[in-house]
Amino acid sequence: MNDLTVAILAAGKGTRMKSATPKLLFEAAGRPLGTWPVATALALRPARVVVVVGHGRDGLQEVLRARFPRAPLVFAGQKEQLGTGHALRCALPFVPRSARRLLVLCGDAPLVTPDPLRRLLAVGRRRPVAMLTSVVGDPAMYGRVLRDERGRVVRIVEHRDATPQLRLVREVNPAVYVFDPAWLRSAIGRLRRGNAQGEFYLTDVVELAAGTSRGVADLRVPFDDLRGVNNRAELAEAEEALLDRIRRTWLVAGVTIRAPHTVRLEADVRLARDVEIGPGAQLLGRTTVAAGASIGAGCILRDVAVGKNAVLLPYVVATESSIGPGARIGPFAHLRPKSSIGREAHVGNFVETKNTVMHPGAKANHLAYVGDGDIGRRTNVGAGTIFCNYDGFGKWRTVLGEDVFVGSDSQLVAPVTVGDGAYVASGSTIVEDVPAGALAVARARQVVKPGYAGKLRAKLAARKARQRK
């Protein structure tokens, strides 16, 4: 829409969030709050999106540029927060003269979708102002929409300026407008600050438009998708609505989600058909799951790539890692960042990996820590094995070749390499490289003293008796 510009009002302090973090940087369904209306605006393909920034402007600009690197975004500064009318006045110098329509959105309204905006643009094409309205059971702090005897919008009264009688009006202003930019440039200079908050109200422009021969166009829509976020309770409500949309989208697309209301799927997660997700799972960030994979109950994955037909048993925690096709993980496994689990590899219960590559068919099935490692094809790491990767100063790698067997309760002190086909006996502490095909045994020789057990018990009992005295 080459004649369309969108202005997003995102300069407010958000004091009701009661936080040092700017409101629009709070996350909703895995994305900063302020990115949601920008994404909606860009879906309309405007010539330009003008974001009015103020409090926390540097952080918001950085976030938006990173998420929408090729979008036609420009930023208008509002040094003093003197109201919504003043915010839009700050945006106008950045609205191209070629623009014939100016859509205005609030930066804290993440639930707005493109469909009602397209309809509003259609109904407002020949009017100086078009606006959305909603009828609600509890108008709360929203401005009230007043109509004349013919049902035409004539005025918006903000809650703080409304009389008790006007506060009974249930039709409210969700603050979504379409303006004729040429008309707006002349009208916005007529705004005054004679109101309860001493601000320039954008809503007063509606009354000015109602006094013209063309009047105000309005489109009544359900309120649920238009509500803004003013505090953390409203943020939680908006986020749950976003998450519900996301879950429904994937269910329709062919994903099985058990107990959907318990599952968190963030906005940038991508799922293939025939994926199954168990109760209480959380898929966060840019996690991707390929066809036929199964994510068990209680799994938490952030920025993880899960391959085709992989199986994650319950309560796997994984971050910034990849899991190959047909791999089997868990239960209760922990994949820390830079873990790469190959095709049909196994990471079993209470196994932790970190910055480790497990090549196809490798296994670490029980109670092991394999950090900073490279584990070759078909190699088996026994229960209780530890890669001793940190010496108090630096991290070092352990390299196991193909078809290696590491017995239970072994310690491999990095840097160390075990060659292809080698065998490490259970209970060994390996501090030197093991050649391919060799057997490494590194443990103290067993000593047996016949009949000594009774003497030892008596000695220990006597010591305990002395302690009691």
The per-residue pLDDT for range 409-449, each reduced to its tens digit, is: 999 999 999 999 999 999 999 999 999 999 999 998 889 99
206-221 burial, b at 16+ Cβ within 10 Å, e below that, comes to: bbbbbeeeeebbbbeb
State which H helix or E strand residue 341 sits in: strand 340-341
State which H helix or E strand residue 371 sits in: strand 369-371
State which H helix or E strand residue 289 sits in: strand 288-289
pTM of the model: 0.91
CB 105 within 8 A of CB 41: yes
Task: Name which residue leads in pLDDT, 50 or 80.
Answer: 50
- The single-letter code of the amino acid at 73 is L
Residue 181, helix vs strand vs coil: helix
Mean pLDDT of 270-281: 98
Q: What is the pLDDT of residues 198-257, one digit of tens each?
A: 888 899 999 999 999 899 999 999 998 898 999 999 999 999 999 999 999 999 999 999
> Using CA atoms in the order 104, 105, 106, 110, what is the torsion angle rounded to 10 degrees?
-170
73: its two tokens: 């975004």
Instruction: Kindly report the average pLDDT of the chain as a whole number.
Output: 95
Q: How confident is the model at residue 1, as a pLDDT?
A: 56
Pairing of strands 416-418, 405-406: unpaired
Residue 410's closest CA among 444, 435, 373, 384?
384
Q: How confident is the model at residue 269, as a pLDDT?
A: 98
Question: Domains in the chain, please, with CATH?
Answer: 4-220 (3.90.550.10), 232-440 (2.160.10.10)
Q: What is the pLDDT of residues 322-381, one digit of tens each?
A: 999 999 999 999 999 999 999 999 999 999 999 999 999 999 999 999 999 999 999 999
Distance set, CA 336 to CA 31, 321, 322, 333 (Å): 22, 7, 10, 10
Q: What is the pLDDT of residues 251-269, one digit of tens each?
A: 999 999 999 999 999 999 9
Residue 91, helix vs strand vs coil: helix
The CA angle 57-60-65, to the nearest 5 degrees, is 120
Distance between CA 185 and CA 48 in Å, rounded? 17
Q: What is the pLDDT of residues 91-111, one digit of tens each?
A: 999 999 999 999 999 999 999
Output 335-344 pairs: Cβ under 8 A, ≥24 positions apart.
Answer: 335/304, 336/371, 342/377, 343/307
Tell whether the torsion through CA atoms of 265, 270, 272 and 275 is positive or negative. negative
Q: What are the phi and psi torsion angles at 381 (to 5°)?
A: -105, 115
Q: How confident is the model at residue 451, as a pLDDT?
A: 93
For the cut 60, the answer to whether the pLDDT of residue 287 exceeds it is: yes
Distance between CA 440 and CA 429 in Å, rounded? 9
Q: Known catalytic residue: 366?
A: yes
Mean pLDDT of 76-83: 89
- The single-letter code of the amino acid at 56 is G
Q: How confident is the model at residue 105, as a pLDDT?
A: 97
Q: How confident is the model at residue 191, as a pLDDT?
A: 85
Residue 295's closest CA among 261, 345, 331, 266?
331
Q: How confident is the model at residue 366, as a pLDDT?
A: 96
Distance between CA 399 and CA 430 in Å, rounded? 12
Q: What is the pLDDT of residues 153-205, one digit of tens each?
A: 999 998 889 999 999 999 999 999 999 999 999 999 888 887 777 888 899 99
Tell whether the torsion through CA atoms of 54, 34, 239 and 134 is positive or negative. positive
- How many separate helices (H) and strands (E) can be counted in the chain? 8, 42
Which residue among the candidates 55, 159, 334, 366 is catalytic per the annotation?
366
